[in-house]
A = this chain, B = another copy of it.
């Protein structure tokens, strides 16, 4: 039944559009926002781990910092997920998705990783989160016909991000 619904929708509304266009209100699509947000998640985990090891004397100072790191981790994990969903849901059209049959699964995996990095303070998961989003960024730039390179981000944590060649 879902198959019939999808067919009907395609015929009626012509979603198979060749060129990507701006969907607004999203404006301009760029995965960098998601990549920086995921990087921030790793950064927060590093700060949390470091704070736990080197606890300040005053308990209030400790809890104040820890609570803030956790809140920022929450915010940026959600931001990373949202930005990816917007590019995948609004920008990527059927035609492009046919070239990337694993795209849906990749995006779903990004969402799952995004949940996990919120529920835990596990750095390895967070690094995987960054890498999955890099994969997605790679696909994005390819659909726009822009070549990419990998380079260390110019701030901690200095993980590699996929950047467009401009």
Min CB distance A96 to B, Å, is: 11
Contact residues of A: prevailing secondary structure: helix
What's the least CB distance linking A86 to chain B, in Å?
A: 9
Task: Give the distance in Å from the alpha carbon of A166 to the alpha carbon of B115 in the complex.
Answer: 29
Contact with B along A81-119 (1 / 0, CB 8 A): 110010011101100010010101110110111111011
Assembly stoichiometry (copies): 6
C-alpha gap A14/B6 in the complex (Å):
31
Question: B154–A64 contact, CB under 8 A?
Answer: no
A27-B43, A39-B28, A105-B6 known; A112+B15 contact, CB < 8 A: yes
How many Å lie between the Cα of A128 and that of B9 in the bound state?
8
Taking a contact as CB atoms under 8 Å apart, the answer to whether B69 and A70 are in contact is no
Q: How far is the CA of A108 from the CA of B40 in the complex (A)?
A: 25
Q: How far is the CA of A120 from the CA of B146 in the complex (A)?
A: 31
- Mark A67-78 against chain B: 1 for CB-CB distance below 8 A, else 0: 111111111100
Report the separation of the CA atoms of residues A39 and B75 in the bound assembly, to the nearest whole angstrom.
Answer: 23
**Interfacial chain B residues near A68, Cβ < 8 Å:** 24-25, 70, 74, 118-119
Closest B-chain residue to A76, C-beta based? B27
A30 to chain B, nearest CB (A): 6
Q: Say yes or no: B89 contacts A111, CB within 8 Å.
A: yes
